Amino acid sequence: MKLLTRMARSFVAGETVDDAIKAVKKLNEKGVMATLDVLGESVKDRETADKAVQAYLDLLEAIPKSGINSHASLKLTQMGLDIDLEYCYENIAKIVSKAREHGNFVRIDMEGSPHTQRTLDIFYRLREKFDNVGIVIQAYLFRSEKDVQDLNKIRAKVRLCKGAYKEPKEIAIKKMKDIRANFIKLAEMLFKEGVYPAIATHDDKLIKWTKEYAASHNIARDRYEFQYLFGIRTKTFQRLTEEGYRVRCYVPFGTHWLPYFLRRLRERKENVFFVAKNFFKK
């Protein structure tokens, strides 16, 4: 278990808020913004969900105190989505309201397809009251084109990613080439009719496409941002920052890192070697 913990450190900023703040300070010094994620998901009891809510409320107090530039990202199954919809809504509303008090922003991550519709339902409800909350769309899902159309109508802030969960072929695109093509189609919709899209990918082809599309359509660099995951292709995003693009790093921290870590490993077999190499370097 100790070995695994050390391996996970490649992708996770540490266990405590202090660890996370230290990591974000380093990123901020390099011109990179952050979004902090208190690791946790698939919560089945209210006690654990209540603790997660408190952790986010504390985090949203700690961010302005420390002076770091960071949003928060969270998962609804951590807030009780699988326990009770109303309870989950109340929990997330408390967090978004606290963020609003501090002029901050909360992004709701998108989880596996059994949660997609309920996550969107809660998001739409939140948007009636709050404008400091955003959502995520996964390019591998067939439904995403219609979701982007609907989200653009309410001027929702969308983070676009490929999607990290194992989904059945009936509902999700399987070939990387086709996922990439759909990513581009959705990104174009977000650039044309959406508000401040976040392009969340480490894929060179998609990063290049975004730069070229924005330049050829006179889209100013403050009208969108690139996002990446802590520990992945850091140099690429440092370069983008130096070129004058807005870049935000997703910084997970906490003790419940295993599901997040396994998703990162599953995405790329090379990651197994990547973490192993980092482990032996230490």
Ligand X SMILES: Cc1cc2nc3c(=O)[nH]c(=O)nc-3n(C[C@H](O)[C@H](O)[C@H](O)COP(=O)(O)OP(=O)(O)OC[C@H]3O[C@@H](n4cnc5c(N)ncnc54)[C@H](O)[C@@H]3O)c2cc1C
Pairing verdict, β 247-253 and 33-38: parallel
Our answer to whether residue 159 is catalytic in this structure is: yes
Helices (H) and strands (E) in the chain, counts: 11, 8
Stretch that binds ligand X, among 93-101, 185-193, 212-220, 226-234 (CB under 6 A): 226-234
Mark residues 105-124: x for contact with ligand X by CB under 6 A, - for none: ----xx--------------
Phi-psi region of 161 (alpha: psi -120 to 50; beta: other; left: phi over 0): beta
For residues 155 and 268, which CB has a smaller minimum distance to ligand X in the complex? 268
For residues 77 and 271, which CB has a smaller minimum distance to ligand X in the complex? 271
250 binds ligand X (CB under 6 A): yes
41 binds ligand X (CB under 6 A): no
**Interhelix angle 17-29/46-66, nearest 10 degrees:** 40
Our answer to whether residue 82 is catalytic in this structure is: no
Question: Among 109, 30, 13, 21, which residue's Cα sits nearest to residue 61?
Answer: 21
Cβ at position 159, least distance to ligand X in Å: 6
For residues 110 and 126, which CB has a smaller minimum distance to ligand X in the complex? 110
Cβ at position 202, least distance to ligand X in Å: 3
| 239 Cβ neighbours under 8 A, 6+ residues apart | none
Cβ at position 229, least distance to ligand X in Å: 5
144 binds ligand X (CB under 6 A): no
Structural contact between residues 36 and 63, judged by C-beta atoms closer than 8 angstroms: yes
Tokens of 252: 């997970």
| Total residues belonging to the chain | 282
Among 68, 161, 186, 189, binds ligand X (CB under 6 A): 161
- The rounded distance, in Å, linking the Cα atoms of 233 and 237 is 7
For residues 98 and 162, which CB has a smaller minimum distance to ligand X in the complex? 162
Binding site for ligand X (CB under 6 A): 109-110, 136, 138, 161-165, 200-203, 227-229, 232-233, 250, 267-268, 271, 274
- Residues with a known catalytic role: 109, 159
